[in-house]
Amino acid sequence: MITVKNLNKTYNPKKNPVQALQNINLSIPSKQKIAVVGRSGSGKSTLMQVMSTLDKADSGEVLIDKTNILQFNDKQLDKFRAEKMGFIFQNFYVDDTQTCLANISLPLEILNMNKSARKRLSLEALERVGLEDKAKSLASELSGGQRQRLAIARAIVNNPKILFADEPTGNLDSQTGWQIIQTLFNLTNHLGTTFIMVTHDITLANMCDIIFQMQDGKIWQIDKKSNTKEFNNIIK
């Protein structure tokens, strides 16, 4: 269970303040799939970053299993991210200089895991995203879709409790994106991961259990939409 209470975040508070998050309150039950939708600049990415501790909030609480992770010190945050969280970004952020295996192995290295366990889990993760034959290839040799698969494998290799995905298909064509989403949904179902995703796609949003809409740094829950026109009003 994730509970967010009175979360606030203002960029450039002194010069040119942008209130990206305004008193955000929400609740996310475990193992659910969450879609966050809204217009560009509404604060979706900011929310993801603050909830996942990549960025600091100005005030408020993020309770995960009743622990407020915002009061952790840096080292505790690092550990929490390493053990409990996974991240997928629109532009993949895979390390082009490394092989696929080395990319996936990094979170496990950070967890101080030994080499053989690392290799086993990494290969398993590669298999889950259908890249088992690319283990030894450099990440730079992969296509866009394959890179995002690699990023997914890296995000789930530590078996996280929560997986954050900020427009995971944003840089992919619709067919490839669709395959990626299927992979993600299958994996999170299988692993029982809480999945929080920012999307601009009605079909994807409708596949999730809960949909949140954001506007001007505020958030509220909405019903699933049956027609695209209605949805487009929300996101564009």
Partner 1 sequence: MKTKNIRKTDLLIRALQALRHAKTRTIFTALAISVGSFTICAALSAGLGAKSYINNTISDRGDPTAITITYDFTNSQKPKDYTPKKYSDNTENNNTDQINNSKNVVSEQNSETFYNQSFPQNYLTKVKNTEGLDQIHYGYFIDGRYFTGSNEQKYKTSVNTQIDKQAIQLSTAIQGVDSQYILKDNEAFVSENYYKQLGLNDKKQLLNQQINIAFFATPEDEGGSLIHKTVKVVGLLNEAGARTYAPNTIYIPYNMVNQICQNGQKCQFISLSASVKNGYVIQDVISKLKVIGSDLTVDSMQSTQEDLMQSIQIAEGGLIFFGALALLASIFGIINTQYISVLERKRQIGMMRALGMHAKDISRLFRYEAGLIGLFGGFIGCVLALVLTLFNPLLSKLFNITKPKETLLIFDWVSSAGLLILLIIIAIVAGYFPARKAAKLTPIEALRG
Ligand X SMILES: Nc1ncnc2c1ncn2[C@@H]1O[C@H](COP(=O)(O)OP(=O)(O)OP(=O)(O)O)[C@@H](O)[C@H]1O
Q: 96 or 132, CB closer to partner 1?
A: 96
Choice from 9, 128, 134, 154 touching partner 1 (CB under 8 A): 154
Beta strand residue intervals within the chain, DSSP E: 2-11, 18-28, 33-38, 59-64, 67-68, 85-89, 162-166, 194-198, 210-215, 218-222
Q: 48 or 163, CB closer to ligand X?
A: 48
DSSP bridge partners of 63: 3, 68
Name the segment binding Mg ion (CB under 5 A); options: 10-18, 42-50, 108-116, 219-227: 42-50
Helix (H, G, I), strand (E, B) or coil at 107: helix
Could you give the count of Cα atoms lying within 13 Å of 180 in the half-sphere of its Cβ?
29
Q: 104 or 172, CB closer to partner 1?
A: 104
Q: 10 or 98, CB closer to partner 1?
A: 98
| 3 state SS for 173-226 | CHHHHHHHHHHHHHHHHHHCCEEEEECCCHHHHHHCCEEEEEECCEEEEECCCC
Could you give the count of Cα atoms lying within 13 Å of 215 in the half-sphere of its Cβ?
8
Query: Which one-letter amino acid corresponds to residue 79?
Result: K
Query: Which one-letter amino acid corresponds to residue 214?
Result: M
Q: 155 or 202, CB closer to partner 1?
A: 155
Q: Which helix (H) or strand (E) segment is 146 a member of?
A: helix 144-156
Report what 154 binds from partner 1, Mg ion, ligand X, none; CB cut-off 5-8 Å by kind: partner 1
Choice from 58, 61, 83, 124 touching partner 1 (CB under 8 A): 83
Q: 45 or 193, CB closer to Mg ion?
A: 45
Name the segment binding Mg ion (CB under 5 A); options: 41-49, 122-130, 140-148, 150-158: 41-49
Of 35-74, which residues contact partner 1 (CB under 8 A)?
A: 49, 52, 54-56, 72, 74
Name the segment binding Mg ion (CB under 5 A); options: 40-48, 107-115, 206-214, 226-234: 40-48
Contact 156, 86 (CB under 8 A): yes
Report what 112 binds from Mg ion, ligand X, partner 1, none; CB cut-off 5-8 Å by kind: partner 1
* Site membership for Mg ion, residue 45 (CB under 5 A): yes
> Which residues make up the interface to partner 1 (CB under 8 A)?
49, 52, 54-56, 72, 74-76, 78-83, 85, 87, 89, 93, 95, 97-98, 102, 106-107, 109-112, 154
> Which residues make up the interface to Mg ion (CB under 5 A)?
45
